[in-house]
Amino acid sequence: MHVIEGANHFQLYSYLPEALTKWVVASYKVASLREFAAGRHLQKLEKAPTPTNE
């Protein structure tokens, strides 16, 4: 679990885009969200990714 010190649940919304981008890029092993959106991850994906604890 990742904890952001001093942030309440309303403030966490501002961290969401970066966190989701990092997760998609790492989980699907793509270079960018653009590559993911183009479907290039489908050739690489062996099984569905699961969130990891960092």
What is the pLDDT at residue 25?
Answer: 92
Contact in structure between 44 and 28 (CB atoms under 8 Å)? yes
pTM: 0.61
What is the pLDDT at residue 44?
Answer: 62
Which are the contacts of 30, defined by CB distance < 8 A and separation ≥ 6?
24, 36, 40, 41, 44
User: For the segment 28-37, what is each residue's pLDDT rounded down to a tens digit?
Assistant: 889 999 999 9
The length of the chain, given as a count of residues: 54
What is the pLDDT at residue 4?
Answer: 75
User: For the segment 1-54, what is each residue's pLDDT rounded down to a tens digit?
Assistant: 567 788 887 888 888 899 899 999 999 889 999 999 998 877 765 565 666 655
Contact in structure between 23 and 17 (CB atoms under 8 Å)? no
